[in-house]
A and B are shown apart, each in its own frame.
Chain A
Amino acid sequence: MIFLNSLLALAGITFVVPLAIHLLFRHRFNVLDWGAMHLLDAIVRVNKRRMRLRNLLLLLLRCAIPILLAICMARPVLTGWQTPAGDDPLSMVMVVDTSYSLAQRFDTSTRRIDLIRDSARRVIEALPRGSDVVVLSSDGSSHRGDHQTAGTFVDRLGIGGGPLDAEELLSRALRESSMSATQRRQVLLLSDHRAADWSQRTIDSLSVLRRRVDAMSPRPLIAWVDPFVSRSRQPPATATGVVNRRISRLQPRESTASIGQTVRWLVEARVEGNDSTSVTIELRVNGMAHEEKSVPLRSGVATTHFDLVLQADGRHVIEARVSSGLRNAAAMVDAFAPDDSMLVDFLVTPPIDVWLISGSPRDGPLGNDTDYLAIALSPHAMAGEIAHDRFHTRTVRAGNLLRESEKGHPDVIVLADVGRIDSRDADYLIDHVETRGGTLVVFAGPSTEGDRYDDRLRGSDDSPLLPLRFDQVIDLGDDWQTIDSEGLTYPPLAVFSESERGSLDAVEVAKYRKMQFRQSEDSSRVVLRLANGEPLIAIGRGKTEGAGAVMQVAITCDDDWSSMPRRPAFVPLMQRLFAHLATGQRLAAPTHSGRPLVLPPGIAEGASVDSNAVTVWTPGGELARTAVDPSTGTIRVDDTRQAGVYRIKSGDQTIGFAAIAVPTVDLSLVAAEVSQVDSIAEKIGAVRFAAIDDYLREDSDRRYGRGIWTYFLVALLAVMILEPVVQQRGARAT
C-alpha cells in the first residue's frame, strides 16, 4: 500500500491528543461528599470491569478518529508487491463483436451494438497516451493505430458480417498482441456472448489458444466484457415498449421458374408482443418494392401469398418484409430489425432443352416410350406454341448423341428403356453429367439391364453413375401397387403430400424393375417409393464439383407398366422434377453475410458474360471486391458483411442479383449462461467483467493501484457514529 499524499498521513500523529486528554484527565475529578454510598458501591462493583472495557474502547475509538482521517486525506492505494504501471503505454488488442445479434434493442432507442461501441470507445479513451490499439471486428475489418484513430474506427463500426468466430478472432488477437513491443499487453473481447457463439468445437479450440497465451512473454491480460449481463438476457420482445415482428417463412411453390411463369410465394410473419391486429407484408424483387398487403394476425401469426411473374431470366432476389399494421407513430419500435425480412435467391431460366432417347422407337401416336413424357414436358408444342413451354423436348436416337450435340448440348437427357449404350454415347453422357453439370434421367423398362448401365456409365471415381443398381423386373400380377405419397420431403415432390394435391394416390403400378442399394446409405437417395416400400425414384449426383444430377425411375415412362402417364399428376410431377434437377443445383442456399459469395460462370442464363467484366455492388451501393477463378470462371465476393440484395453487373448492365442473408445463428438471441461464459473464460485464462465500468475500474487499479481511501472513510464514519453510541449505550447498559 502506498499513499498518494503521504505527508498528510503524518497528521495521524494527532491521535495523541485524545490519548493525552485521557491520561491527563484520568485523575481529575469533581469531589463530592456523598451519603448514599451503599447504593453506589453496589453499582460500581457490578459494572467496574465493563466500565473499564468501555472506557478503553472509547479511548481507542477517539484515537482512531484522527488516524483514519489522516489516512483518508493521504489517499492510500493498494498496489500489492508491484510498482504500479501508471501511465506507461500498453498494447491493446480489442476484439469487437458486430454480428447481427447486436441489433437487438434494449428499449426504443438503444441497441446492443450501441453499448458495445460505447464500451469500446470508453476503453480506448482510458488508454494511456502512446498506447498501440488494434481493433478486430467480427465482420473481418480491422484497424491498427493510436487511440484517436481507433476511436474513429470504432465509431464507424456497424452491424454486419457473420457470426462471432471466437476461435479465429482470438487467434488473430494473440498474433497481433505477440507482435507488440510493449511490455504491457491486453486482449479485450467485447461481445454479447450468445449460446450459439460457443459451439463445443470452439470451446475445445480454446485449450490450444490457452497454450499460446501461456507461452507468450510477457503474458497478455485477456479480459472479456459482457456488458449485457446486468441487462435483460431475455428474448427481445420482452423489452419495454418494443415488439418483435419477423418473417418466419418465405417459400415459392416452384424452386425455379421460366420467364413469364406465375409462381406463388407463401409468406408467414410472426409477431411477439402486440401493437396492432394486423401487419403489413411487403414483397420485394431485387431490392425494389413489388407488392404490399395488410394481413390480419391470428394468434400472433399472419400468413399470405403473392403471385409473382418474372419477365427476365437470371438470378433474382425475392424478399419479404414485415412492418406494423399501424401506419403512424403509434407503431411500436421493432426489437430486432434483422429478422424483419427474409431473402431468397430465385432462378428464372430460359427454356430447358430435353433430349428424349427411346429404347424401342416406334411410329404412331404414343408409340414411343417417351411420347407421354414429351407431352407432359412441352404440352404447348403439340399446338405449335413452343414459346409457352418451359421445356423444349427433342427425340434423339441412341448412338447419335455426339452428332446431335454439334447443335448444342441439352440440359436434360432422358433414357427411356434404353437397353444398349454404346461407348461414345456413354462418354457423352458421363461428360454431360460430370463436366457440363447436365441432368440424366433413366427410366427402366424390359430392356434396361443394370449390369450394362453400371459397366458403361461410371463416374470419374470409377463408381457407377446410377445411384442404385437396376435388378430384375417384378410383375405384381393382380396385386398392383400404389405410390406412397405420405411425408414427401424432396422439394419438388413436397406439394404432392398435401391432401388437395395428392393425386399420386391414383397411380397404379403393375410392374417395376427392382432397384438395389449398393450401400446402406443409398436409401437416403430414394425420393419416392411404392406402397410396398420398394424404391420408385432415386436421385444421385455426379462425382465432380459442379456435376449434374442423375435420376433413376423403376418404371417405364409410358403406360406399359403403370397408369402414371395417364394420371393428371404426371404433368406437374415431371415438370417439377425436371425443372428442379435441371436448375436447382445451380443455385445453392442463400449465402450468409460474412461468407464468400461464389457466382457460377453462367450467372446470366443464355448470356455470354466475361467473368472478368463482372462487378458486384453491395446493398449500400458500394463496389465489392471480386476475384475470378481463372480455371472455372467462378466469381468470388469476400466482402459480404452487409446482408441484403447484391447487384451483379456486366459493364453497365445488371445481369443478376444475389441474396446475402443474415446468418440463421445470429437470429438466435439466447444468451449463454453466465456460468458457461465463466467456464469458457477460465479455459483461456481470461477474466470476465460484467460491465465495462468494472473493467475500467480494475484497469485503473492495476495501473495506479486500488484506491482504498473510501474504505477508510467508511471506517471513519463508522467510528464517529460508534463513539457516541458506545458512550450512550454503555451508560444504559450499566
Chain B
Amino acid sequence: MSIAEILSPAELERIRGLELLARQVVEGFCTGMHRSPNKGYSVEFKEHRPYVQGDEIRSIDWQVFGKTDRLYVREFEEETNLRSTIVVDASGSMNYVGSRAAGVSKYQYAVRLAACLAYLMIGQQDGVALATFDTKIREFLPHRSRPSHLQAIYAALTQRPPGGETELGDVLAGLARKLQRRGLLILISDCFGDPERLFRALANFRHSRHEVLVIQVLDPDEIDFPFSGRVRFRDLERPGEHQDIDAASLADAYRRRFTLFQRQLNDGCGVHRIDLLQRLTSDPPAAGLAAYLAARRRLR
C-alpha cells in the first residue's frame, strides 16, 4: 500500500506545500518547527531576565553585564517535534455511501484524510501515531517519525473494513492512558453517538493539555435527508436492526434532530476549545484540509 493508492497526485501536491503547525506549544523529541513550553538552549532567543540564585552561571549574558553592571540571564525558546495521534473511526456507520459521494464511503474519506495528515506530519519529521476503532481500539501504531512508518499507517488504515458500533467515549478513555505526553489528537469520525460521553473523554485529553482536532466526516444525505416514500433504514452498526418509515413524513423531524445534534457538537467543542472541522464526502478531502491548515498558520 502506498500513498499514491490513497491520494491522487493533485491532492498530494496540495498537501506537500503545507506544514502542520500546532497552535499551542507542545513537547517533542526532535528540534522541529513547533515551539515548546520548555525554555532551554536553542537558537531562538526569547528574553533577558534578572539573575536569581540557582541559575546556571553559563546562562548569564556577560555582554549585558559589561554594559549595565548587572546580572541578566538569557533565555531561549526550545523548538520541539510534534507528537500527533490520528484516531480514525472504523465503526459501521462510517460505511455509509451516499448518492452524491461518488461511491466514496465516509470511512474511505476518513482514510484519505488520515493519510494526508500522516504524510504531511512525517514529512516534517513529526511523530505520528494511528489508532482505528469501533467499540474498541482495533489498530494502534505508536508514535514514529520515520518515513517507513507511513507505510505501516497506510496498511493499518486499509487492513480491515469498518464494522460494528461506535463507542467513542470508552475508546478515547483507553487511548488517553496510552498517550501520556501531550501532543495533537486528531479524531476523524462522524461523531455519531452520545455527545456527552464524547466530550467527557475529549476533556481528559484537554486536561492533559493535548491539542484536539475533531474532523467530522459526514455524507450530504445525513444532513439534508433527501429520501421519500416508504424506506427501510437498515442499521449499519447493528446488523438486523431497521426502521420502516415514510421518509418524507419524517424528513423535517430528522433535520431538526440533526441540527440539534450538530449544535451540541459545536457547543461542546467550543466549551473545551476543540477545533471542529466538518468535511462532506462529496467534497475533495485535500481542499478542506488545506484551508484549515492555512487558517491555523495565520493564527500562529
Contacts and interface: CB of A to CB of B under 8 A. Distances in A.
Interface stretch (B115-123, B138-146, B175-183, B245-253): B245-253
A33 B96 contact: yes
A30 B232 CA distance: 6
B92 to A, nearest CB: 7
Interface string B237-263: 110010111101111111001100100
A491 B38 CA distance: 136
Contact of B192 (A25, A36, A44): A36
B251 to A, nearest CB: 7
Contacts of B243: 37, 40-41, 44
B249 A34 contact: no
Is chain A's interface secondary structure helix, strand, loop, or mixed overall? helix
Nearest to B237: A37
A35 B95 contact: yes
Interface stretch (A470-478, A635-643, A726-734): A726-734
B156 to A, nearest CB: 22
Interface in A38-76: 38-44, 46-47, 51, 54-55
Given A37-B243, A731-B249, A734-B249, A42 B257 contact: yes
A35 B192 contact: yes
B227 interface: yes
A732 B251 CA distance: 9
21 contacts: A25-B230, A29-B232, A29-B244, A32-B227, A32-B234, A33-B95, A34-B233, A34-B234, A34-B235, A35-B96, A35-B219, A35-B237, A37-B237, A39-B192, A40-B250, A44-B243, A44-B245, A46-B253, A51-B246, A731-B252, A734-B250
Interface in A447-483: none
Nearest to A730: B249
The prevalent SS among residues of B at the interface is mixed
A397 B232 CA distance: 136
B231 interface: yes
B284 interface: no
A727 B241 CA distance: 27
Contacts of B213: none
Interface residues on A, range: 20 to 34
Contacts of A43: 250, 253-254, 257
A217 B229 CA distance: 68
B230 to A, nearest CB: 5
B135 to A, nearest CB: 14
Contacts of B236: 33-35, 37
Interface string B192-233: 110000000000000000000000000100100001011111
A196 to B, nearest CB: 69
A44 B258 CA distance: 14
Contacts of A40: 233, 243, 245, 250, 254
Nearest to A45: B243
Contacts of A30: 227, 229-232
Nearest to A42: B257
B108 interface: no
A144 to B, nearest CB: 72
B261 A39 contact: yes
Nearest to B232: A29
Given A33-B234, A37-B237, A51 B254 contact: no
A728 to B, nearest CB: 9
B79 interface: no
Contacts of B246: 51, 55
Given A32-B232, A35-B93, 7 more contacts: A31-B234, A32-B231, A33-B95, A34-B234, A42-B257, A43-B250, A734-B252
Interface in B243-292: 243-246, 248-254, 257-258, 261
B94 interface: yes
A39 B232 contact: no
